[in-house]
Structure 1
Amino acid sequence: MRPDYEALIVGAGFGGIGAGIELTRLGITDFVILEREDDLGGTWHVNHYPGLAVDIASVTYSYSFEPNPYWSRLFAPGTELKKYAKYVADKYDLTRRMEFGVAVERAEWNPDEHLWQVRTSDGRDRSAKYLVTATGFLSQPHVPDFPGIDTFAGRIIHTTRWEDGHDFTGERAAVIGTGATAVQLIPEIADQAQALTVFQRTPIWVVPKLDFPIPAGVQRLFARFPLTQRAARLVNTSLLELLMVVGVLHYRQAKIGNRIAARLARAHLRAQVADPDTRRRLTPTYDFGCKRPTFSNTYFRTFNRPHVQLETGTIERVVPEGIVTADGATIPVDTLVLATGFNLWDVNFPAFEVIGRGGKDLGKWWRDGRFQAYEGITVPGFPNLLSLNSPYSYSGLSYFTTIEGQMRHIRRLFTEMRRRGDSTFEVSERANDAFLDRVTDDLQSSVFYTGDCSRARSYYFNQHGEAALLRPSSTLSTLREMERFPLADYAFS
């Protein structure tokens, strides 16, 4: 049986684009990229709420091999990230290989034909020799099931399904959630709404955002002399590494670094919020890094405004006219904004049903046992599967570190497979177990296990209580390991 494609990539965000680039470099051009949305860009297409911007400096939040010298700001707005994704996809001739509005529902390994059979929402069945899942970490929105929410008489907007042009002027608005998305969005709504209530379950660590427009002269300098932009990227990446590796991953050995970051965030809070009680409620009661921190110069100041209320009580139920809290108070609401984040561990790993050798269900195997993936990209029992958004795969604070590391892994793996004259690969259980043991041991020094994360409610932790998302190594170590992993860890046929 001849497969429809040599490779099938699921997801047209930056991960899928990176995989497409690497396959093209390897000479594999017979592939398709399936995307459930109506355009490419992943999270930068789905999200377009007011205030959307990167929370990692743009010189770092981009492909190192494809720098963009024309970012308008140090922290570029989301529209520029979407434009950048389109530019890269067009440059590497990937757009014509993309099919939009096609959601993958199931993929199953056919051991007789040595290929993946993929069922999609358009009723078609497709087959491919290699399957690459690039559905992202934050692709399955979490919608809270508050009692009575279906009776609400006003408008409900989830941040991933933003209604462009919605005007909050004169409205009584409410935002549920205070994560990174809400930190960007809340000041924008406060500028329009007559009244704004922010429902906070868990406060977030916020540090100052050193953001500024990048002058046209600097942009021209970056374009003419790319080494200058590489230097800027190196400086920014080094600062992120200091925050992530020292303050979070090596918490036990360097608690002072973590405490300095927490003191900086507390000082930022004291400088921006006047009311002591509001400051107290906005102060996290867990260690810095247990939950992803963020940057903002406007979020805290929003709570000084007389028409903005911070509500930390439990939501009891939703009624047609608003929200009832546990103390019996009813808060009137015209428009309810759900900034409630994403569901990683229940539905996102994986984002669709994946059945491997012997009927092994990847999602069930992960949830019944432990979330795991060798080097964060392959899984025993699933031949010719490259799972880009997997447990222990996220490296550093910029997603592009993860993407480029996985691109290097694909290059080494496929080069060896071709050298042998083979067409099938599968990681051994021995190698997978050894990798899982290593990352689990390395994480014991992190803030996740050594610090106090009991009140963080962090998506870093799965339902088994394991911090199974981040790879406990620096950017340089990750990239080096992806190029040097033992080839004997794989069986080829």
Structure 2
Amino acid sequence: MTTNVSTNLHSESSHQTRPAAPSDAPLSVAIVGTGFGGIGMAIRLKQAGIHDFVMLEREGRIGGTWRDNIYPGAACDVPSVLYSFSFEPGYHFPRFYARQPDILAYQEHCVRKHRLDQHIHLNCSVRSTRWDEGAACWQIETTSGRYFRARALVPATGQLGTPELTNIPGLKTFAGPSFHSANWRPDVALAGKRVAIIGTGASAAQLLPHVVRQAAHVTLFQRTPPYILPRPDRPAPRWETWLYGHVPPLRWLARSIVYLAHESLGLAFYSLPVFEAVMRRVLLAHLWLRVRDPELRRKLTPTYAAGCKRILVDNGLYTAVTQPNCDVITESVARIGPDHVETTDGIKHPADILIMATGFASQTFSGTFEVTGRDGRTLANAWRNGAYAYRGVSVNGFPNLFMLYGPNTNLGHSSIIYMMESQIRYVMGALKALQRAPGTALEVSQDAETGWNAALQKALGNTVWTNGGCSNWYQGQDGRITNNWSGPSFTYRRAVRRFDAEHYLSTKPA
């Protein structure tokens, strides 16, 4: 049985709140978030002998997106042998593709094993952070009124932590239960109800089969159909886990095979028309085999390049939409009434329950709190035309700020944990440089930042995310690709293989 480690962690309700006194020595690091990025960063800190750090978590339990997304069917689309820390092997995932409860249990296992509980503060939402020039540290204020000071700030809030709430007219007039898939309501009974689901992304595809089995009728509102790859899932026997834990070369081989298989999918994304054409034919053949009704197949056929939107790895959506109690509506949603969803063709579709599977506010890389750097400059203002960062980690004007899963570090085809581990190694290099020079501030130079992002955007201009003929959540308001990396994941790892101090300005308080 898995124990909820949260019962052993600090809760801000048990702390006396007070501002940090100027005489208090600042911590080495403050990590914001306890998802995979925050946990991985904390483990590496302890392994390096750095113990004066905190992990600030706004919720009452660790886990990030895998804590929040508890909808039926929630699972990872990358095999667990790759969607896990390379430095934390031997954990038993019951299936080849891990489900949400098993991923959360793995995160809690990592917290217990590495004794991170003494560093974690639950129910400790960060309100604001401000760079203190005189002390060369970050001042961190939480909503509970508690303050922290740290030489380095590591936002590890990710790109998928804040649900994207739709602003469809009339939403507040809906009389029945309505909720986002990331705020799933287990208390809402679906049996015998008419359920409307808005969206056909990964969350919708995973929860749809459960809803179709339970509800009297399901209406799925689709703006753009996804490409879907079948998911070769299977049970994972314990002897296999034992081998991975006790025979490191075998686990390395298994990870390498899965890694190379996923990297091969990425060949279609980097302006290689032949690979994209082959990929598209394979995906459309899968659709043709699974959906035999010509009209329904037409609705589900994408007209954009494969990979322009994230390709789903899923076995349930095509089966669910062919059930007699499920309709797919392709007309846009115009407004919502007390008991219906009205589309632009004037048809009112009855609904007792409304589920919004509308994704996440993916541009909030530093979380929902205010970040104020040098000379009163805010990160929100710096990013008003779209987010950017040097190597996806640092921003000029914000000394000793090192992001995990920041701008242009997302992938459309493989494990984000691979990317996070690459970033963590780079950040550790920066933190060790700070240790060697107490009181120092490290700030990426404007020239390095500008040059990096110019080259990155040029490379992204040749990818399917720019030229694929679709709109996607990888793009910022100015049309730039702000989320994704421009090539294979190993090229990013090579780019951050060492901390390049020569591209940073090193200063000390006067």
Same fold (TM over 0.5): yes
Aligned ranges for residues 42-57 of structure 1 at < 5 Å? 42-57=64-79
Measure the CA separation in 2 of the matches of 1:281 and 1:357: 52
Q: 1:241 aligns with which of 256, 263, 272?
A: 263
Provide Cα deviations, 1:107-155, integer angstroms capped at 9, x if missing partner: 1111112111112111223222111101111011111122221111111
SS at match of 2:220: strand
| 1:126 counterpart = 2:148 | yes
Q: Are 1:352 and 2:372 matched, yes or no? A: no
User: Post-superposition shift, 1:397?
Assistant: 2.2
**What residue in structure 1 maps to residue 396 of structure 2?**
380
CA contact (8 A) 1:3 1:129 kept: no
Aligned partners of 1:335 and 1:16: how far apart in 2?
35
Measure how far apart 1:410 and its partner are.
Answer: 1.5
Counterpart of 2:151 in 1: which secondary structure? strand
Q: Once the two structures are superposed, what CA deviation does each residue of 1:150-206 show, in whole Å capped at 9, x if it has no partner?
A: 111111121111122543111111111100111101111101111000001111111
Number of aligned residue pairs: give it. Answer: 484
CA shift, 1:485, in A, is 5.0
**Does residue 495 of structure 2 align to residue 474 of structure 1?**
no
Instruction: Read off the aligned partner of 1:11 and give its amino acid letter.
Output: G
Match of 1:173 in 2: 195
Per the alignment, in what secondary structure is the counterpart of residue 440 of structure 1? helix
Asked if 1:427 corresponds to 2:459, the answer is: no
Opposite residue 29 of structure 1, the aligned amino acid is: H
Aligned CA distance change for structure 1 residues 292 and 24 (closer, same or farther; 3 Å): same
Relative distance call for 1:91 and 1:217 in structure 2 (3 A) is: closer
Deviation at 1:4, TM superposition (A): 4.8
Q: 1:363 to 1:3 in 2, by over 3 A?
A: farther
Change (3 A) 1:436 1:348: closer
State TM-score, norm by structure 1: 0.94
Measured at CA, do residues 98 and 69 of structure 1 come closer, stay the same or move farther in structure 2, by a change above 3 Å? closer
* Residue 421 of structure 1: how far off its partner (Å): 5.4
1:84-163 to structure 2, matched below 5 A, reads 84-163=106-185
For 2:455, the equivalent position in structure 1 comes to 438
In terms of mean alpha carbon deviation, does 292-301 or 157-166 score higher?
157-166
**TM superposition shift of 1:6:** 2.5
1:26 is the counterpart of 2:44: no
Q: Which moved more, 1:49-58 or 1:404-413?
A: 404-413
Q: Residue type of the partner of 1:437?
A: A
CA deviations over 1:24-50 (Å, ceiling 9, x no partner): 233221111111111001111011110
Alpha-carbon distance change, 425 to 376 in structure 1, aligned in 2, over 3 angstroms: same
Alpha-carbon distance between aligned partners in 2 of 1:125 and 1:217, rounded to the nearest angstrom: 48
User: 2:394 aligned with 1:394, yes or no?
Assistant: no
What one-letter code is carried by the residue in structure 1 that aligns with 2:46? T
Structure-1 separation of matches of 2:483 and 2:145: 33
Match of 1:71 in 2: 93
State the SS of the aligned residue for 1:271.
helix
Contact 1:422 / 1:492 at 8 angstroms: preserved in 2? no
- TM-score normalised to structure 2 length: 0.91
Looking at structure 1, the residues matched to 499 and 409 of structure 2 have their Cα atoms a distance apart, in angstroms, of 15
Are 1:431 and 1:489, in contact at CA under 8 Å, matched by a contact in 2? Answer: yes
Change in 2 beyond 3 A, CA 1:419/1:109:
closer
Q: Check the 8 A contact 1:60/1:233 in 2, yes or no.
A: yes
Alpha-carbon distance in structure 2 between the residues aligned to 1:281 and 1:191: 22
Q: 2:7 corresponds to which residue?
A: none
1:186 paired to 2:242: no
Q: Deviations over 1:293-341 (max 9, x none)?
A: 1111221121211110001112121111121222222211111111111
Q: 240, 251, 271: which one pairs with 1:229?
A: 251
Q: Which residue of 1 aligns with 2:427?
A: 410
Question: Superposition RMSD on alpha carbons, in Å?
Answer: 1.7
Q: Deviations over 1:70-120 (max 9, x none)?
A: 111111111010000001111112122111111112111111121111121
